[in-house]
């Protein structure tokens, strides 16, 4: 390229790259938002790329600039949902930072449960995995692993504070607590999908179920 001539090709500045990648992220987010909408309307497993493109005013092939396949969209949704659960739970626990471990555990469980009922599409993806051919990638699954790890940590804190028996922080304790909550969610979403958390016949039982857990692992109780 001869010196003294400004390049006819526009130089890509840092700002341009920022703008471009921000634009790209926006499009990706919009795709996921629209996919979520459609899943809510037609069923999670009924997602179609054509429908997504139609609603976005795009042509279907354009979607392949952002996701290499339909399953990649499901995977991104899974990751998004798992991250949201992690965030929601952390936020609820942070709000009770000064409270005892059991209070924080209850707050985390309640917030997560409330979010799950308000977001049935994500719940179905995360907790049931009923989309034919879809399995989440390790990356998308990571926040879910972290959520369970943090649950275990909190249970251990309750044990250390003398609020729970040491068994509560075992594999069984973790499995039991997740199962108790999954049961309420499962029944609520299957039988009263359009009822709010507060009014649900099943989710209403959350405090009771948490009591059951705490009582079961009451320290000194030879279970």
In the shown chain, the binding pattern of residues 114 to 143 toward DNA, with x for contact by CB under 7 A and - for none, equals: ------------------------------
166 is a contact residue toward DNA (CB under 7 A): no
The entry of a second copy, DNA, none near residue 51 (CB within 5 to 8 angstroms by kind) is DNA
174 is a contact residue toward DNA (CB under 7 A): no
In the shown chain, the binding pattern of residues 151 to 180 toward a second copy, with x for contact by CB under 8 A and - for none, equals: --------------------xx--xx-xxx
CA–CA separation, 39 and 30 (whole Å): 14
The entry of a second copy, DNA, none near residue 60 (CB within 5 to 8 angstroms by kind) is DNA
220 is a contact residue toward a second copy (CB under 8 A): no
132 is a contact residue toward a second copy (CB under 8 A): yes
> Shortest gap between Cβ of 189 and DNA (angstroms)?
24
> Shortest gap between Cβ of 176 and a second copy (angstroms)?
6
For 45-83, give one letter per residue: b (16+ CB within 10 A) or e: eebebebbbeebebeeeebeebbeebeebbbbbbbbbbb
Cβ closest to a second copy, residue 29 vs residue 211: 211
CA–CA separation, 194 and 3 (whole Å): 68
71 is a contact residue toward DNA (CB under 7 A): yes
Q: What angle do CA 222, 175, 138 make, to 5 degrees?
A: 155
Binding residues (CB under 8 A) for a second copy: these are 42-46, 124, 127-133, 171-172, 175-176, 178-187, 190, 201-202, 205, 208-209, 211-213, 215-216
């Amino acid at each position: 390229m001869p010196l003294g001539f400004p390049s006819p090709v526009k130089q890509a500045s840092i700002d341009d790259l920022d703008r471009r990648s921000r634009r790209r992220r926006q499009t990706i987010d919009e795709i996921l938002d629209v996919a979520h909408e459609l899943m809510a309307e037609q069923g999670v497993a009924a997602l179609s790329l054509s429908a997504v493109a139609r609603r976005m005013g795009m042509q279907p092939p354009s979607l392949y600039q952002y996701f290499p396949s339909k399953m990649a969209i499901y995977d991104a949704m899974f990751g998004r949902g798992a991250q949201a659960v992690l965030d929601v739970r952390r936020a609820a626990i942070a709000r009770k930072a000064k409270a005892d471990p059991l209070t924080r555990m209850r707050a985390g469980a309640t917030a997560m449960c409330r979010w799950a009922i308000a977001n049935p599409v994500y719940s179905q993806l995360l907790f049931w995995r009923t989309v034919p051919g879809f399995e989440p990638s390790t990356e998308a699954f990571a926040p879910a692993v972290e959520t369970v790890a943090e649950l275990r940590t909190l249970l251990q804190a309750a044990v250390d504070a003398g609020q729970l028996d040491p068994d509560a922080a075992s594999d069984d304790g973790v499995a039991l607590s997740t199962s108790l909550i999954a049961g309420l969610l499962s029944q609520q979403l299957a039988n009263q999908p359009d009822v709010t958390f507060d009014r649900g016949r099943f989710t209403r039982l959350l405090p009771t179920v948490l009591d059951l857990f705490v009582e079961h692992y009451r320290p000194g109780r030879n279970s």
